Structure 1
Protein backbone atom coordinates (compact mmCIF):
# COMPACT_ATOMS: atom_id res chain seq x y z
CA UNK A 1 0.00 0.00 0.00
CA UNK A 2 2.98 2.35 0.38
CA UNK A 3 2.94 3.17 -3.34
CA UNK A 4 -0.63 4.51 -2.99
CA UNK A 5 0.18 6.88 -0.14
CA UNK A 6 -1.00 10.37 -1.15
CA UNK A 7 -2.97 9.03 -4.08
CA UNK A 8 -6.73 8.95 -4.61
CA UNK A 9 -9.23 6.17 -3.97
CA UNK A 10 -12.93 6.41 -4.74
CA UNK A 11 -15.17 4.23 -2.55
CA UNK A 12 -18.85 3.83 -3.41
CA UNK A 13 -21.36 3.11 -0.67
CA UNK A 14 -18.92 4.62 1.84
CA UNK A 15 -21.48 5.70 4.43
CA UNK A 16 -21.74 2.48 6.48
CA UNK A 17 -20.63 -1.09 6.97
CA UNK A 18 -17.89 -2.43 4.75
CA UNK A 19 -17.64 0.80 2.76
CA UNK A 20 -17.03 2.82 5.92
CA UNK A 21 -14.43 0.33 7.16
CA UNK A 22 -12.60 0.37 3.81
CA UNK A 23 -12.66 4.18 3.75
CA UNK A 24 -11.08 4.45 7.19
CA UNK A 25 -8.52 1.71 6.48
CA UNK A 26 -7.37 3.57 3.36
CA UNK A 27 -7.18 6.87 5.26
CA UNK A 28 -4.96 5.21 7.88
CA UNK A 29 -2.65 4.06 5.07
CA UNK A 30 -2.26 7.62 3.81
CA UNK A 31 -4.60 7.30 0.82
CA UNK A 32 -6.87 10.25 0.06
CA UNK A 33 -10.43 8.90 -0.16
CA UNK A 34 -13.43 10.23 -2.03
CA UNK A 35 -16.30 8.56 -0.19
CA UNK A 36 -19.50 8.53 -2.20
CA UNK A 37 -22.92 7.88 -0.69
CA UNK A 38 -26.44 9.25 -0.80
CA UNK A 39 -26.14 10.11 2.90
CA UNK A 40 -23.04 12.29 2.71
CA UNK A 41 -23.27 13.32 6.37
CA UNK A 42 -22.46 9.73 7.33
CA UNK A 43 -19.33 9.83 5.18
CA UNK A 44 -18.32 13.13 6.81
CA UNK A 45 -18.47 11.39 10.19
CA UNK A 46 -15.75 8.94 9.07
CA UNK A 47 -12.99 11.55 9.11
CA UNK A 48 -9.99 10.50 11.19
CA UNK A 49 -8.06 13.43 12.69
CA UNK A 50 -4.88 11.41 13.16
CA UNK A 51 -4.91 9.64 9.76
CA UNK A 52 -2.42 10.76 7.09
CA UNK A 53 -5.04 10.37 4.33
CA UNK A 54 -7.60 13.08 3.60
CA UNK A 55 -11.32 12.36 3.32
CA UNK A 56 -13.48 13.98 0.64
CA UNK A 57 -17.16 13.17 1.33
CA UNK A 58 -19.23 13.42 -1.83
CA UNK A 59 -22.98 13.04 -2.23
CA UNK A 60 -23.78 10.60 -5.01
CA UNK A 61 -26.18 7.90 -6.13
CA UNK A 62 -24.64 5.04 -8.12
CA UNK A 63 -28.04 4.08 -9.51
CA UNK A 64 -27.93 7.28 -11.63
CA UNK A 65 -25.40 7.74 -14.41
CA UNK A 66 -25.53 11.54 -14.20
CA UNK A 67 -24.60 11.35 -10.51
CA UNK A 68 -21.67 9.01 -11.22
CA UNK A 69 -20.38 11.20 -14.05
CA UNK A 70 -20.63 14.30 -11.84
CA UNK A 71 -18.62 12.55 -9.11
CA UNK A 72 -15.83 11.56 -11.49
CA UNK A 73 -15.77 15.08 -12.94
CA UNK A 74 -15.42 16.49 -9.43
CA UNK A 75 -12.49 14.16 -8.75
CA UNK A 76 -10.79 15.13 -12.04
CA UNK A 77 -11.32 18.85 -11.42
CA UNK A 78 -10.22 18.82 -7.79
CA UNK A 79 -7.86 15.87 -7.26
CA UNK A 80 -6.56 15.05 -10.78
CA UNK A 81 -8.17 11.60 -10.94
CA UNK A 82 -8.82 8.17 -9.42
CA UNK A 83 -6.01 5.66 -8.80
CA UNK A 84 -8.06 3.10 -6.85
CA UNK A 85 -11.75 2.31 -7.29
CA UNK A 86 -13.63 0.27 -4.69
CA UNK A 87 -17.07 -0.68 -6.01
CA UNK A 88 -18.73 -1.34 -2.67
CA UNK A 89 -22.26 0.03 -3.15
CA UNK A 90 -24.88 -2.70 -3.41
CA UNK A 91 -28.41 -3.48 -2.35
CA UNK A 92 -30.30 -6.66 -1.55
CA UNK A 93 -34.07 -6.87 -1.87
CA UNK A 94 -35.39 -10.33 -1.02
CA UNK A 95 -38.69 -10.88 -2.81
CA UNK A 96 -40.04 -13.90 -4.66
CA UNK A 97 -39.38 -14.04 -8.39
CA UNK A 98 -43.02 -14.85 -9.06
CA UNK A 99 -44.38 -11.79 -7.26
CA UNK A 100 -41.64 -9.15 -6.93
CA UNK A 101 -42.37 -5.72 -8.41
CA UNK A 102 -40.24 -4.76 -11.39
CA UNK A 103 -38.98 -1.70 -9.53
CA UNK A 104 -37.23 -3.92 -6.95
CA UNK A 105 -35.35 -5.74 -9.71
CA UNK A 106 -34.52 -2.48 -11.45
CA UNK A 107 -33.07 -0.97 -8.26
CA UNK A 108 -30.78 -3.96 -7.71
CA UNK A 109 -29.65 -4.07 -11.33
CA UNK A 110 -29.09 -0.30 -11.43
CA UNK A 111 -26.87 -0.31 -8.33
CA UNK A 112 -25.26 -3.76 -8.31
CA UNK A 113 -24.56 -4.10 -12.05
CA UNK A 114 -24.98 -0.88 -14.06
CA UNK A 115 -23.68 1.50 -11.39
CA UNK A 116 -20.66 -0.73 -10.78
CA UNK A 117 -20.02 -0.96 -14.54
CA UNK A 118 -20.27 2.79 -15.11
CA UNK A 119 -17.95 3.52 -12.19
CA UNK A 120 -15.47 0.96 -13.51
CA UNK A 121 -15.57 2.38 -17.04
CA UNK A 122 -15.04 5.93 -15.81
CA UNK A 123 -12.18 4.94 -13.49
CA UNK A 124 -10.35 2.90 -16.13
CA UNK A 125 -10.75 5.63 -18.78
CA UNK A 126 -9.46 8.19 -16.28
CA UNK A 127 -6.42 6.05 -15.42
CA UNK A 128 -5.62 5.40 -19.08
CA UNK A 129 -6.00 9.10 -19.94
CA UNK A 130 -3.53 10.08 -17.20
CA UNK A 131 -1.09 7.24 -17.94
CA UNK A 132 -1.72 5.53 -14.57
CA UNK A 133 -0.60 1.95 -15.11
CA UNK A 134 -0.63 0.75 -11.51
CA UNK A 135 -4.26 1.55 -10.71
CA UNK A 136 -6.57 -0.87 -8.94
CA UNK A 137 -10.28 -1.72 -9.30
CA UNK A 138 -11.88 -3.82 -6.57
CA UNK A 139 -15.44 -5.17 -6.65
CA UNK A 140 -17.01 -6.03 -3.31
CA UNK A 141 -19.18 -8.99 -4.24
CA UNK A 142 -21.35 -11.56 -2.52
CA UNK A 143 -20.59 -15.23 -2.06
CA UNK A 144 -23.87 -15.90 -3.88
CA UNK A 145 -22.12 -14.81 -7.03
CA UNK A 146 -20.44 -18.23 -6.94
CA UNK A 147 -23.14 -20.61 -5.79
CA UNK A 148 -26.91 -21.02 -6.14
CA UNK A 149 -29.17 -19.62 -3.47
CA UNK A 150 -31.43 -21.76 -1.33
CA UNK A 151 -34.66 -19.91 -2.09
CA UNK A 152 -36.25 -17.99 -4.92
CA UNK A 153 -36.52 -14.77 -2.94
CA UNK A 154 -32.76 -14.17 -3.31
CA UNK A 155 -32.39 -15.31 -6.92
CA UNK A 156 -32.45 -11.85 -8.50
CA UNK A 157 -29.88 -10.53 -6.02
CA UNK A 158 -27.68 -13.57 -6.66
CA UNK A 159 -27.97 -13.01 -10.42
CA UNK A 160 -26.58 -9.48 -9.99
CA UNK A 161 -23.64 -10.94 -8.09
CA UNK A 162 -23.03 -13.53 -10.81
CA UNK A 163 -22.97 -10.61 -13.23
CA UNK A 164 -20.33 -8.82 -11.13
CA UNK A 165 -18.10 -11.90 -11.28
CA UNK A 166 -18.47 -12.21 -15.06
CA UNK A 167 -17.86 -8.48 -15.53
CA UNK A 168 -14.68 -8.71 -13.48
CA UNK A 169 -13.33 -11.54 -15.63
CA UNK A 170 -14.21 -9.65 -18.80
CA UNK A 171 -12.45 -6.54 -17.47
CA UNK A 172 -9.36 -8.55 -16.59
CA UNK A 173 -9.18 -9.98 -20.12
CA UNK A 174 -9.72 -6.55 -21.65
CA UNK A 175 -6.85 -5.06 -19.62
CA UNK A 176 -4.53 -7.97 -20.43
CA UNK A 177 -5.28 -7.55 -24.15
CA UNK A 178 -4.37 -3.85 -23.82
CA UNK A 179 -1.14 -4.84 -22.05
CA UNK A 180 -2.23 -2.72 -19.10
CA UNK A 181 -0.89 -3.24 -15.59
CA UNK A 182 -4.08 -1.89 -14.01
CA UNK A 183 -5.15 -4.61 -11.61
CA UNK A 184 -8.64 -5.85 -10.83
CA UNK A 185 -9.86 -7.97 -7.98
CA UNK A 186 -12.92 -9.09 -6.07
CA UNK A 187 -13.62 -9.52 -2.39
CA UNK A 188 -16.52 -11.82 -1.59
CA UNK A 189 -18.67 -11.34 1.49
CA UNK A 190 -21.65 -13.20 2.87
CA UNK A 191 -24.84 -11.16 3.10
CA UNK A 192 -27.66 -12.38 5.30
CA UNK A 193 -31.22 -11.89 3.99
CA UNK A 194 -31.62 -9.01 6.46
CA UNK A 195 -29.02 -7.15 4.38
CA UNK A 196 -26.31 -7.37 7.06
CA UNK A 197 -22.85 -8.58 6.05
CA UNK A 198 -21.46 -11.55 7.96
Structure 2
Protein backbone atom coordinates (compact mmCIF):
# COMPACT_ATOMS: atom_id res chain seq x y z
CA UNK A 1 0.00 0.00 0.00
CA UNK A 2 3.05 2.28 0.05
CA UNK A 3 2.27 3.91 -3.30
CA UNK A 4 -1.11 5.05 -2.00
CA UNK A 5 0.21 6.89 1.07
CA UNK A 6 -1.25 10.40 1.31
CA UNK A 7 -3.44 9.70 -1.73
CA UNK A 8 -7.18 10.45 -1.56
CA UNK A 9 -9.63 7.58 -1.21
CA UNK A 10 -13.40 8.10 -1.30
CA UNK A 11 -15.60 5.53 0.43
CA UNK A 12 -19.37 5.59 -0.08
CA UNK A 13 -21.71 4.19 2.54
CA UNK A 14 -19.05 5.06 5.13
CA UNK A 15 -21.32 5.46 8.15
CA UNK A 16 -21.44 1.76 9.09
CA UNK A 17 -20.59 -1.82 8.15
CA UNK A 18 -18.15 -2.50 5.32
CA UNK A 19 -17.77 1.20 4.56
CA UNK A 20 -16.77 2.13 8.11
CA UNK A 21 -14.38 -0.84 8.32
CA UNK A 22 -12.77 0.19 5.03
CA UNK A 23 -12.36 3.77 6.22
CA UNK A 24 -10.48 2.55 9.29
CA UNK A 25 -8.20 0.25 7.28
CA UNK A 26 -7.38 2.92 4.70
CA UNK A 27 -6.53 5.39 7.44
CA UNK A 28 -4.24 2.82 9.06
CA UNK A 29 -2.53 2.53 5.66
CA UNK A 30 -1.82 6.30 5.77
CA UNK A 31 -4.29 7.43 3.12
CA UNK A 32 -6.42 10.55 3.17
CA UNK A 33 -9.99 9.24 3.36
CA UNK A 34 -13.28 10.90 2.49
CA UNK A 35 -16.37 9.17 3.83
CA UNK A 36 -19.63 9.74 1.96
CA UNK A 37 -22.96 8.82 3.56
CA UNK A 38 -26.37 10.24 4.30
CA UNK A 39 -25.86 9.85 8.05
CA UNK A 40 -23.26 12.54 8.71
CA UNK A 41 -23.61 12.19 12.48
CA UNK A 42 -22.61 8.53 12.33
CA UNK A 43 -19.44 9.44 10.46
CA UNK A 44 -18.68 12.14 13.02
CA UNK A 45 -19.03 9.53 15.75
CA UNK A 46 -16.65 7.27 13.83
CA UNK A 47 -14.15 10.13 13.49
CA UNK A 48 -14.27 10.83 17.22
CA UNK A 49 -13.20 7.24 17.92
CA UNK A 50 -10.11 7.47 15.72
CA UNK A 51 -6.58 8.30 16.92
CA UNK A 52 -5.85 12.02 16.67
CA UNK A 53 -3.47 11.63 13.72
CA UNK A 54 -6.07 9.66 11.75
CA UNK A 55 -8.80 12.17 12.56
CA UNK A 56 -6.83 14.79 10.65
CA UNK A 57 -6.91 12.59 7.52
CA UNK A 58 -10.61 11.66 7.68
CA UNK A 59 -13.15 13.94 6.03
CA UNK A 60 -16.86 13.19 6.53
CA UNK A 61 -19.13 14.54 3.80
CA UNK A 62 -22.91 14.17 3.69
CA UNK A 63 -23.97 12.60 0.40
CA UNK A 64 -26.89 10.62 -0.97
CA UNK A 65 -25.42 8.59 -3.84
CA UNK A 66 -28.88 8.06 -5.35
CA UNK A 67 -28.95 11.78 -6.16
CA UNK A 68 -26.69 13.02 -8.96
CA UNK A 69 -26.91 16.54 -7.55
CA UNK A 70 -25.76 15.35 -4.12
CA UNK A 71 -22.89 13.36 -5.67
CA UNK A 72 -21.78 16.30 -7.82
CA UNK A 73 -21.79 18.63 -4.81
CA UNK A 74 -19.75 16.19 -2.73
CA UNK A 75 -17.16 15.52 -5.43
CA UNK A 76 -16.78 19.19 -6.27
CA UNK A 77 -15.99 19.81 -2.62
CA UNK A 78 -13.49 16.93 -2.52
CA UNK A 79 -11.69 18.14 -5.64
CA UNK A 80 -11.61 21.76 -4.44
CA UNK A 81 -10.31 20.90 -0.95
CA UNK A 82 -8.12 17.84 -1.64
CA UNK A 83 -7.16 18.16 -5.30
CA UNK A 84 -8.72 15.01 -6.73
CA UNK A 85 -9.84 11.42 -6.23
CA UNK A 86 -7.27 8.63 -6.49
CA UNK A 87 -9.30 5.68 -5.19
CA UNK A 88 -13.06 5.15 -5.15
CA UNK A 89 -14.73 2.46 -3.05
CA UNK A 90 -18.33 2.10 -4.24
CA UNK A 91 -19.84 0.52 -1.15
CA UNK A 92 -23.20 2.24 -0.58
CA UNK A 93 -26.20 -0.03 -1.06
CA UNK A 94 -29.68 -0.70 0.28
CA UNK A 95 -31.98 -3.71 0.54
CA UNK A 96 -35.77 -3.69 0.54
CA UNK A 97 -37.16 -7.15 1.21
CA UNK A 98 -40.29 -8.38 -0.51
CA UNK A 99 -41.36 -9.73 -3.87
CA UNK A 100 -40.97 -7.87 -7.16
CA UNK A 101 -44.34 -9.24 -8.28
CA UNK A 102 -46.22 -7.32 -5.56
CA UNK A 103 -43.85 -4.66 -4.21
CA UNK A 104 -44.32 -0.91 -4.53
CA UNK A 105 -42.45 0.11 -7.70
CA UNK A 106 -41.19 3.22 -5.90
CA UNK A 107 -39.42 0.99 -3.37
CA UNK A 108 -37.89 -1.05 -6.18
CA UNK A 109 -36.76 2.09 -7.97
CA UNK A 110 -35.05 3.35 -4.79
CA UNK A 111 -32.95 0.19 -4.64
CA UNK A 112 -31.91 0.47 -8.28
CA UNK A 113 -31.21 4.18 -7.95
CA UNK A 114 -28.87 3.63 -4.99
CA UNK A 115 -27.27 0.30 -5.90
CA UNK A 116 -26.78 0.92 -9.62
CA UNK A 117 -27.03 4.60 -10.47
CA UNK A 118 -25.14 5.53 -7.30
CA UNK A 119 -22.18 3.55 -8.62
CA UNK A 120 -22.53 5.23 -12.02
CA UNK A 121 -22.66 8.76 -10.59
CA UNK A 122 -19.67 8.30 -8.28
CA UNK A 123 -17.57 6.38 -10.80
CA UNK A 124 -18.10 9.02 -13.48
CA UNK A 125 -16.84 11.76 -11.16
CA UNK A 126 -13.89 9.74 -9.86
CA UNK A 127 -12.88 8.63 -13.38
CA UNK A 128 -13.02 12.22 -14.63
CA UNK A 129 -10.73 13.33 -11.80
CA UNK A 130 -8.26 10.50 -12.44
CA UNK A 131 -8.17 10.96 -16.21
CA UNK A 132 -7.80 14.75 -16.10
CA UNK A 133 -4.74 14.34 -13.86
CA UNK A 134 -3.43 11.37 -15.87
CA UNK A 135 -3.43 9.34 -12.65
CA UNK A 136 -3.69 5.54 -12.67
CA UNK A 137 -6.29 5.22 -9.92
CA UNK A 138 -8.42 2.33 -8.76
CA UNK A 139 -12.19 1.87 -8.53
CA UNK A 140 -13.55 -0.89 -6.29
CA UNK A 141 -17.18 -1.95 -6.38
CA UNK A 142 -18.68 -3.83 -3.43
CA UNK A 143 -20.85 -6.36 -5.23
CA UNK A 144 -22.42 -9.56 -3.78
CA UNK A 145 -22.46 -13.29 -4.43
CA UNK A 146 -26.12 -12.80 -5.40
CA UNK A 147 -24.85 -10.69 -8.28
CA UNK A 148 -23.53 -13.94 -9.79
CA UNK A 149 -26.00 -16.59 -8.60
CA UNK A 150 -29.36 -16.36 -6.86
CA UNK A 151 -29.73 -19.02 -4.15
CA UNK A 152 -32.95 -20.78 -3.19
CA UNK A 153 -33.47 -19.71 0.41
CA UNK A 154 -36.95 -20.76 1.46
CA UNK A 155 -38.85 -24.01 1.28
CA UNK A 156 -42.41 -24.93 2.22
CA UNK A 157 -43.80 -22.68 -0.51
CA UNK A 158 -42.63 -19.53 1.29
CA UNK A 159 -41.79 -16.77 -1.19
CA UNK A 160 -38.22 -15.44 -1.32
CA UNK A 161 -37.63 -11.92 -0.04
CA UNK A 162 -34.59 -10.95 -2.13
CA UNK A 163 -36.76 -8.83 -4.43
CA UNK A 164 -34.79 -6.56 -6.75
CA UNK A 165 -31.55 -6.68 -4.76
CA UNK A 166 -30.00 -9.55 -6.81
CA UNK A 167 -30.94 -7.90 -10.14
CA UNK A 168 -29.28 -4.71 -8.91
CA UNK A 169 -26.10 -6.66 -8.15
CA UNK A 170 -26.24 -8.57 -11.46
CA UNK A 171 -26.28 -5.12 -13.06
CA UNK A 172 -23.18 -4.22 -11.03
CA UNK A 173 -21.40 -7.35 -12.30
CA UNK A 174 -22.05 -6.28 -15.89
CA UNK A 175 -21.36 -2.62 -15.16
CA UNK A 176 -17.95 -3.41 -13.70
CA UNK A 177 -16.89 -5.33 -16.81
CA UNK A 178 -18.20 -2.63 -19.16
CA UNK A 179 -16.31 0.03 -17.20
CA UNK A 180 -13.14 -2.07 -17.30
CA UNK A 181 -13.35 -2.22 -21.08
CA UNK A 182 -14.11 1.50 -21.29
CA UNK A 183 -11.18 2.46 -19.05
CA UNK A 184 -8.88 0.48 -21.35
CA UNK A 185 -10.51 1.80 -24.52
CA UNK A 186 -10.11 5.38 -23.30
CA UNK A 187 -6.36 4.82 -23.03
CA UNK A 188 -6.05 4.79 -19.25
CA UNK A 189 -4.51 2.33 -16.83
CA UNK A 190 -7.19 2.90 -14.22
CA UNK A 191 -8.13 -0.36 -12.53
CA UNK A 192 -11.56 -1.60 -11.48
CA UNK A 193 -12.34 -4.54 -9.21
CA UNK A 194 -15.56 -6.19 -8.08
CA UNK A 195 -15.57 -7.61 -4.53
CA UNK A 196 -18.46 -10.03 -3.99
CA UNK A 197 -19.01 -11.07 -0.38
CA UNK A 198 -21.45 -13.64 0.85
CA UNK A 199 -23.67 -12.95 3.85
CA UNK A 200 -21.97 -10.23 5.92
CA UNK A 201 -23.01 -9.10 9.38
CA UNK A 202 -24.07 -5.52 8.63
CA UNK A 203 -27.13 -3.34 9.20
CA UNK A 204 -28.47 -4.23 5.75
CA UNK A 205 -29.10 -7.87 6.75
CA UNK A 206 -32.74 -8.62 7.58
CA UNK A 207 -33.79 -10.72 10.56
CA UNK A 208 -34.58 -13.75 8.39
CA UNK A 209 -30.84 -14.15 7.72
CA UNK A 210 -29.58 -13.76 11.25
CA UNK A 211 -28.76 -16.60 13.63
CA UNK A 212 -26.42 -19.53 13.99
CA UNK A 213 -27.90 -21.29 10.95
CA UNK A 214 -26.65 -18.44 8.76
CA UNK A 215 -22.83 -18.17 9.01
CA UNK A 216 -21.65 -14.71 8.09
CA UNK A 217 -18.56 -12.65 7.39
CA UNK A 218 -17.52 -9.59 9.36
CA UNK A 219 -17.21 -6.19 7.71
CA UNK A 220 -13.47 -6.30 8.38
CA UNK A 221 -13.20 -9.47 6.27
CA UNK A 222 -14.52 -7.64 3.24
CA UNK A 223 -12.37 -4.61 3.93
CA UNK A 224 -9.29 -6.84 3.96
CA UNK A 225 -10.21 -7.99 0.44
CA UNK A 226 -10.53 -4.39 -0.70
CA UNK A 227 -7.11 -3.50 0.68
CA UNK A 228 -5.59 -6.59 -0.91
CA UNK A 229 -6.68 -5.59 -4.39
CA UNK A 230 -5.45 -2.04 -3.80
CA UNK A 231 -2.07 -3.41 -2.71
CA UNK A 232 -1.42 -5.22 -6.00
CA UNK A 233 1.35 -3.85 -8.25
CA UNK A 234 0.48 -1.49 -11.14
CA UNK A 235 0.79 -4.22 -13.79
CA UNK A 236 -1.71 -6.52 -12.00
CA UNK A 237 -5.49 -6.16 -11.99
CA UNK A 238 -7.84 -8.25 -9.87
CA UNK A 239 -11.10 -8.55 -11.78
CA UNK A 240 -13.21 -10.28 -9.15
CA UNK A 241 -12.86 -11.40 -5.54
CA UNK A 242 -15.51 -13.72 -4.16
CA UNK A 243 -15.43 -14.32 -0.41
CA UNK A 244 -17.82 -16.43 1.67
CA UNK A 245 -18.10 -17.65 5.28
CA UNK A 246 -16.20 -20.91 5.71
CA UNK A 247 -19.30 -22.86 6.68
CA UNK A 248 -21.69 -20.94 4.48
CA UNK A 249 -23.23 -21.88 1.16
Instruction: Please report the TM-score for the alignment, with normalisation by the length of structure 2.
Output: 0.75
CA distance in 2, matches of 1:138, 1:9: 11
Question: Is residue 2:117 matched to residue 1:117?
Answer: no
Tell me whether 52-61 or 160-169 shows the greater mean CA deviation. Answer: 52-61
Q: Is the 8 A contact 1:30 1:51 kept in 2?
A: no
Question: Higher Cα Rg: structure 1 or 2?
Answer: 2
**Quick one: distance in 2 between partners of 1:51 and 1:22?**
17
1:84 alignment counterpart: 87
> How much does 1:179 deviate?
2.8
1:13–1:35 CA contact under 8 A, matched in 2: yes
| Secondary structure of residue in 2 paired with 1:34 | strand
Partner of 1:7: 7
Aligned to 2:44: 44
Task: State the Cα distance separating 1:51 from its structure 2 match.
Answer: 4.9
Matched, 1:173 2:175: no
Superposed CA deviations along residues 158-186 of structure 1, whole A, max 9, x for unmatched, are 00000001000001111112231111001
Q: CA deviation at 1:130?
A: 1.5
Q: 1:190 offset after TM fit, Å?
A: 2.0
For the aligned residues, what is the CA RMSD? 1.7
Among residues 69, 78, 83, which one is paired with 1:66 in the alignment?
69
Please, which runs of 5 or more residues in structure 2 have no aligned partner?
153-158, 211-215, 218-249
Task: After TM superposition, give the deviation of residue 50 of structure 1 in Å.
Answer: 5.1
The partner residue of 1:146 within 144, 148, 164 is 148
Per the alignment, in what secondary structure is the counterpart of residue 15 of structure 1? coil
**Take 1:114 and 1:74, find their aligned partners in 2: how far apart are those partners?**
20
Q: Which residue of 1 aligns with 2:191?
A: 183
Residue correspondences, number: 197
Q: TM-score under structure 1 normalisation?
A: 0.93
Q: Distance in 2 between matches of 1:57 and 1:167?
A: 27
The answer for the alignment partner of 1:19 in structure 2 is 19
Give the C-alpha shift of residue 152 in structure 1: 4.3
